[in-house]
Chains A and B, each alone.
Chain A
Amino acid sequence: MPAPELASTPSSNGKVKIGVYVCHCGLNIAGKVDVSSVVEFASTLPDVAVARDYKFMCSDPGQELIEQDLRDGLVNRVVVASCSPLMHEATFRKATEKGGQSQFYFQMASIREHVSWVTADGDHATEKAKALVAAAVRRVALHEYLEPRRAEVLPDVMVVGAGIAGIHAALTLADAGKHVYLVERETTIGGHMAKFDKTFPTLDCSACILTPKMSAVRSHPNITLWTYSDVVGVEGFTGDFTVRVRHRPRYVREDLCTGCLECIEQCIHKKGKFDDEWNEGLSKRKPIYIPFPQATPAVVVVDPETCIWFKTGKCPQTCIEACERDAFDFEQTETFDEVKVGAIVLATGFKTFDASKMPEYGYGLYPNVYTSLELERLLNAAGPTGGVVELRDGSKPKVIGIIHCVGSRDAKHNLWCSKVCCMYSLKLAHMVKERTGAEVYNFYIDMRTPGKGYEEFYDKILREGVHMVRGRVAGVSDEAASPEEEGHLVIRAEDTLIGSVRRIPVDMVVLAVGLEPQPDAQDVRRLFNISCGGEGWFTERHPKLAPVSTFTDGVFLAGTCQGPKDIPDTVAQAGAAAAEAMAMIDRGFMMLEANTAHIDDEACSGCKTCVGLCPFNAISFDEERKKASVNEVLCKGCGVCVGACPSGAAQQHLFTDEEIFSEIEGVLAYV
């Protein structure tokens, strides 16, 4: 990149001439703040050469105003009073650079997010805006000439989580020639989608559309697939992450096992005895198992918790005998891998709400109360009943009640709408009706079907004669108020559209459990140094304009780890995350913030306070000279060392003590 001709260089700072540009932001600012009075005030401030206002400073003509003034030599420093720097700092820095000045000769005053949007009174707002402008003006006069920093971006990518989001992101990247490390905690990839029978609204078979992608992952030359593995450490920074991955022992060698399943057949346990997690506990598995036939990789796993050999050491080990490939290795232990990647895509997914937290719905108390995920397994041809919907006693349900919003939209549990439950409840209603001919009642608070073909699907379900009751279910019980209720579960709800309480006896209750962040979301977030809301969904950089990136450059989000979403949205987001990661990698470098710390050799007293404080080990100490120095490549620019330095030797670019003192004076310069 050719460096533009700079009017001022480190040596020739020249006379400071500040241009102040106050944005109206339509009426967003001007509706509250008296912009002309702010401009008038700004023009009285020291070193201010030009003060202007404009409807939209971020627009091309707005930026052109700045560039022109810079080119004309009217100004050599720029202050824009508009929105938050988190919004448009980059825009205006670029404009400043285009005008021929260092991009860092710029400062922003946030008079929208911090003033006009949050202040009730116009006079107060104007006064506060002036103070913020005064602070920015004082500060920018002190800004120093800085070279922008660049960091190289490594070419490989890590994708964490191999549900449909992770799979899609990994395949997109791999197809573009990037090497992808795909890490999955479970023994197979596929995630929740692999458990479903059909998907709304098209009712295409989940396995039919997912398994080809799963095997593509397995065979792709650019994908290193690590299942039964998790990320235990992330180090480094944007473009250069070192990720440590732990592989849990399967006690079967992945490279040898062919997935013939002969060992399972030969296990000393003649029948499954332990709850099969994949089938939500609706069937039993052996200590050696494979979650489902199309599991990827098709490698069996031994569960040491239940395997007789691990528990007692006494077992004829018929499994080993059965294996023609000698794939068993009971001595396996955890192993670790460390890889260097340039970008990370997080696709860690969700968990479903634990229905036993709502005892009023009787889950765990009445055997015929199921969660939606359990019903998905019952409907699945590869599920515990081979796709037959039957109750735990083997009988067929004649009346089925599906309760929406379980755990969602509820101040006692999760406040949010889980977005997918209305649609999947309609899908389940259709499927159980088709398979069993049962009468199906759906109990909903509000019907939410925004999405392509979704309302049409709702219409189809209505035509099929599924009963829709608008009312949140108050309780499920086996109390019989009349002979018809005897022997049934009774669902009690107000049918709010008729204004009466209804008691509907059913044989099977299905709880449409909502979506929740993974229980360890907070740990994962800390590991990757991104943020999340109190509830645990990962926070995107901007809810609208940067929905797949995070505040940590190089870490992207895909799928439900960011919030509830359905499969189409998840896949779209995964594609977007892959594209953004790719854009970063293909460029090959990242621009970094210039705000690193540095230590003035003269002033350093050699007290070493800073050395221990730096969380990134960026400060080293020269024992001979008794001076500390900062490695600006490692420095991330937090300024902790600067705040602690007793002699004022440590300083931070763009946040020097002088700059902040002047900003303090500025905000206190009341008018």
Chain B
Amino acid sequence: MRPFGSFRRWRSVKDQSKFEAYLDPGFASEIATIPGGEKLQQCIQCGTCTAVCPMSAYMDYTPRRMIAMTRAGCRDDVLGSLAIWVCTSCYSCTVECPKRIPITEIMHGLRQMAVEEDRYPRRFTTPVMAQAFVEMIERRGRSTESWISVKLYLRTNPWLLVKNAAIALRLIRRGRLGFGRESVRDPGELKAFLAATERPAAVRSSVERVRQPTEAVA
């Protein structure tokens, strides 16, 4: 292999120093607001998370590096990384971490920040899927696999609709892929319920005291 064989590669070499001006020193403390997230500061960079991660081989930054970069304040690199979306939430890292850092939760927190700041990879399935899923639940309270797949493929790679048609057909024939839309009884109420979680706890404490017996929904 000739690493600098092509002029395009050596012409594009850039300064890769992380200058302090580029870093966000408050980034780690933002992450520390995730329950257990403050433990991130205790990381000893042992790499157990990476080694147990089934997906680390496919990440742009390994989980261990993600922690180091978060701690160093590499906000843009971390939130723009593919790694946070490659995570399959299998919790292996969380369980194995010798410092008990809840890495999966941190990954989820980073995802939320990436979504809020609108900097997730546009046509990568995980974020698109997550959002399509969330929209469907907000609207109906339950998800329907068939429709969510259709939605996902349309938003990312419509070609996959065709490519996966064969397997879909086999599933349909066996009654494992329905197109009837599932829903809770009162989607409006569920929507209001979810919206109610956005209210900070203190504002509502007066309501809490007059809790009604619960048979209303039963």
List residues of chain A with CB under 8 Å of any chain B CB.
360, 409-412, 445-446, 470-475, 492-496, 499-501
Given contacts A360-B96, A412-B100, contact A475 B65 (CB under 8 A): no
B 44-66 to A, binary, CB cutoff 8 A, 1 in contact else 0: 11111111110011000010110
Tell yes or no: B188 within 8 A of A by CB.
no
Q: How far is the CB of B138 from chain A (nearest CB, A)?
A: 38
Complex alpha-carbon distance, A496 and B57, angstroms: 13
Q: A445-B44, A446-B44, A496-B47 are in contact. Are A474 and B98 (CB under 8 A)?
A: no
Interface string of B83-115 (1 = CB under 8 A from A): 000000000000011111000000000000000
Kindly list chain A residues whose C-beta atoms are within 8 Å of the C-beta of B56: 494, 501
Interface size for B (C-beta < 8 A) is 20
Instruction: Decide if A494 touches B47 in the complex (CB within 8 Å).
Output: yes
| CB within 8 Å for A411 and B47 given contacts A499-B62, A501-B57 | no
Q: A411-B99, A412-B98, A501-B57 given as contacts; is B47 within 8 A of A472 (CB)?
A: yes
Distance A494 CA – B49 CA, assembled complex (angstroms): 8
B57: chain A residues within 8 A (beta carbon) = 500-501
Q: State A411–B48 Cα separation when bound (angstroms).
A: 13
Chain B residues contacting A500 (CB-CB under 8 Å) are 57, 62
Given contact pairs A409-B44, A445-B44, A494 touches B50 in the complex (Cβ within 8 A): yes
Contact partner of A472 among B46, B62, B65, B100, CB < 8 A?
Answer: B46
Q: Which residues of A have CB within 8 Å of B62?
A: 494, 499-501
Q: When the two chains form their complex, are residues A501 and B50 in contact, meaning their CB atoms are under 8 A apart?
A: yes
User: Apart from A445-B44, A471-B51, what are 7 other A-B pairs with CB-CB below 8 Å?
Assistant: A411-B97, A411-B99, A471-B46, A474-B51, A474-B52, A495-B47, A499-B62
| 20 A-B pairs with C-beta separation under 8 A | A409-B46, A409-B98, A411-B97, A411-B99, A412-B98, A445-B44, A445-B45, A446-B44, A470-B47, A471-B47, A471-B50, A472-B47, A473-B51, A474-B48, A474-B51, A474-B96, A492-B52, A493-B51, A496-B47, A501-B53
Residues of chain B contacted by A411 (CB below 8 angstroms): 97-100
Residues of B within 8 A of A472 (CB): 46-48, 51, 98
**Shortest beta-carbon distance, B58 to chain A, in Å?**
11
Complex CA distance for A493 and B48, rounded to whole angstroms: 7
Contacts of A473 in B (CB 8 A): 48, 51
A412 to B46, CA, bound (A): 15
Residues of B near A495 (CB, < 8 A) are 47
Cα-based distance from A590 to B198 in the complex (angstroms): 69
Complex Cα–Cα for A363 and B51 (A)? 19
Closest to B95 in A: A412
User: Which A-chain residue is minimally distant from B51 (CB atoms)?
Assistant: A474
Contacts of A499 in B (CB 8 A): 62, 65
- Determine the chain B residues whose CB is within 8 A of the CB of A492 once the complex forms: 51-52
| A contact residues around B65 at 8 Å (CB) | 499
Enumerate chain A residues within 8 angstroms of B99, measured Cβ to Cβ. Answer: 411
**B114–chain A nearest beta-carbon distance, Å:** 22
Chain A residue with Cβ nearest B100: A411
A475-B98 contact given A445-B46, A446-B44, A501-B56, CB 8 Å threshold: no
A474 to B46, CA, bound (A): 10
A306 CB to nearest chain B CB (Å): 40
Q: A493 to B44, Cβ gap below 8 A?
A: no
Q: Tell me, rounded to whole Å, the shortest Cβ–Cβ distance linking B77 to chain A.
A: 14
- Min CB–CB distance A71 → chain B (angstroms): 55
Closest 7 CB pairs of A and B: A494-B47, A474-B51, A472-B46, A494-B50, A471-B47, A410-B98, A496-B47
CB distance from B102 to the nearest CB of A (A): 12
> Least Cβ distance of B182 to chain A in Å?
39
Complex Cα distance, B96 from A410, in Å, reads 10
Give chain B interface residues in 103-149, CB to chain A under 8 Å: none
Minimum CB–CB distance from B149 to chain A (whole Å) comes to: 31
| Min C-beta distance of A47 to chain B, whole Å | 50
Contact call B100/A475, Cβ cutoff below 8 A: no
Q: Are B44 and A494 in contact (CB under 8 A)?
A: no
Distance (Å) between the CB of B81 and the closest chain A CB? 14
Residues from chain B with a CB closer than 8 A to the CB of A474 are 48, 51-52, 96
Q: Which of B44, B46, B98 has the most CB of A within 10 A?
A: B46
Looking across the interface, which residue of chain A has its beta carbon closest to that of B96? A474
